[in-house]
Amino acid sequence: MPHAKFDTIYRDLREKIEDGDYPFQSFLPSENTLTSVYGCSRNTVRRAIAGLIERGYAQAIRGKGVRVLYRKGQQSAFSIGGIETFKESAARNHLHTTTRVVRFEMIEADDALAARTGFRAGTPLWRIWRLRILDGRALILDKNLFRADLVPGLTRAIAEDSIYQYIEQTLHRTIQTSKRRMTVEHATREDAKYLDLGDYNCLAIIESQTFDENGSQIEWTQSRHHPERFAFEDTATRRPHA
């Protein structure tokens, strides 16, 4: 639980919005009101509200107030908004899942791989391929590369459970930033071999570079998703004259 006050207020407001206490298109209490409600400074309230706005829960209108944009029942079935473990998002959506490790080896980055993944050539890497199975259907093929010096001691068993959990709870290293890129690509023979594609001949691809608490790139991942069960949500705000 983050102890920061603004975060507590953010969560409280978010919950009230999700519960319908502040319904769609209504206005939140003014910042001054919230200031006295929560017994804190206006800046702290503003920071909490900024979080709501950033995540699409509300929109600030100068001179008028902060309007709720959240509507019940319009969110996704399988969202991947933040950085979230496969295990986490599966649990959040009440799905029964298993993971099958289909590749587990140590390699060294060559020039081609380095250019594509952002690692330096010569870096020792774990190469791990994992099949994500939801309700008996193989839907995601994850291709991970972890820097072996930053993630020592990996095993097949850990890969079958949760590598992130190992990184955070055993190695006490933190995942912080992740740059992602989403595309749609033709399915390869390999995809067809591993995934239950049906009559789709394309996949949703997410490539990401992940950085640890020191800003070192710890991971590169390509997730090859069956088109079903894949959805990505996002909120954008337009800055004038960007």
Partner DNA sequence: ATAGCATACTTGTTTATACAAGTCAACGCC
Partner DNA sequence: GGCGTTGACTTGTATAAACAAGTATGCTAT
Q: Which listed range, 27-35, 78-86, 122-130, 190-198, lies at the site for DNA (CB under 7 A)?
A: 27-35
Q: Rounded distance, CA 220 to CA 60, Å?
A: 37
Residue (83 or 133) nearer to DNA, CB: 83
Q: What is the DSSP string of 70-83?
A: --TT-S-SS---SS
Do residues 223 and 206 lie in contact, with contact meaning Cβ atoms separated by under 8 Å?
yes
CB of residue 214 to DNA, shortest distance in Å: 8
Question: Is there binding between residue 56 and DNA (CB under 7 A)?
Answer: no
Q: Which of 35, 102, 118, 138 binds a second copy (CB under 8 A)?
A: 118
Nearer to DNA, 28 or 134 (CB): 28
89 vs 79: CA distance, rounded Å: 8
How large is the angle between the packed helices 5-18 and 42-54, nearest 10 degrees?
50
Residue whose tokens read 């919950």: 15
Cα dihedral 212, 236, 57, 10 in deg (nearest 10):
40
Q: Using an 8 Å Cβ cutoff, are 4 and 40 in contact?
A: no
How far apart are alpha carbons 202 and 184 in whole angstroms?
7
CA–CA gap between residue 219 and residue 227 (Å, rounded): 24
Residue 41 found at the interface with DNA (CB under 7 A): yes
Q: In the bound complex, what is the minimum distance in angstroms from residue 34's beta carbon to a second copy?
A: 18
**Among the listed residues 26, 40, 168, 200, the single contact to DNA using CB under 7 A:** 40
Nearest distance from C-beta of residue 139 to a second copy, angstroms: 12
Amino acid at 32: N
Cβ proximity of 54 and 94 under 8 Å = no
Does 200 help bind a second copy (rule: CB under 8 A)? yes
Helix or strand or coil: residue 193?
helix
Q: Which is nearer to a second copy, 82 or 136 (CB)?
A: 82
Residue type at 11? R
> Among residues 63 and 73, whose Cβ is nearest to DNA?
63
Of residues 155 and 177, the one with the C-beta less far from DNA: 177
Interface region with DNA, contact rule CB under 7 A, candidates 4-12, 86-94, 134-142, 195-203: 4-12
Taking residues 128 to 167 in sequence order and writing x for each that binds DNA by CB under 7 A, - otherwise, the string is ----------------------------------------
Structure tokens at 11: 């969560």
Query: Contact residues for DNA (CB under 7 A)?
Result: 2-7, 28, 30-33, 39-44, 46-47, 60-66
Query: Contact residues for a second copy (CB under 8 A)?
Result: 1-2, 25, 53-54, 56, 59, 61, 64, 67, 69, 71, 74, 76, 81-83, 118, 174-186, 199-204, 211, 213-215, 225, 227, 230-242
